[in-house]
């Protein structure tokens, strides 16, 4: 679980870089970030139940 959470945080960093280099729009970034936050919540909840 820790590895998957770490990878998702790295993904967020890469998305910010992509936005700054104009590879994605702010709207796309927001949409993807919402999904990442949802994943974080699910993963942490699952981890607490283990």
Whole-number pLDDT of residue 40: 94
pTM for this model (two decimals): 0.81
The angle that helices 26-49 and 2-20 make with each other, rounded to 10 degrees, is 170
What are 24's two structure tokens? 């994605």
Owning domain of residue 39: 2-49
Q: What DSSP string runs through 4-44?
A: HHHHHHHHHHHHHHHHHTTSS-HHHHHHHHHHHHHHHHHHH
Quick check: 44 and 5 in contact, CB under 8 A?
Answer: yes
Dihedral sign, Cα of residue 11, residue 16, residue 18, residue 24: positive
Whole-number pLDDT of residue 1: 81
Per-residue pLDDT of 1-50, as tens digits, reads 889 889 999 999 999 999 999 999 999 999 999 999 999 999 999 999 98
Domains: count for the chain = 1
């Amino acid at each position: 679980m820790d590895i998957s959470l770490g990878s998702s945080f790295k993904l967020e960093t890469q998305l910010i870089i992509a936005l700054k280099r104009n590879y994605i729009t702010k709207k796309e970034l927001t949409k993807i970030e919402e999904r990442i936050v949802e994943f974080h919540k699910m993963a942490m909840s699952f981890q607490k139940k283990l």
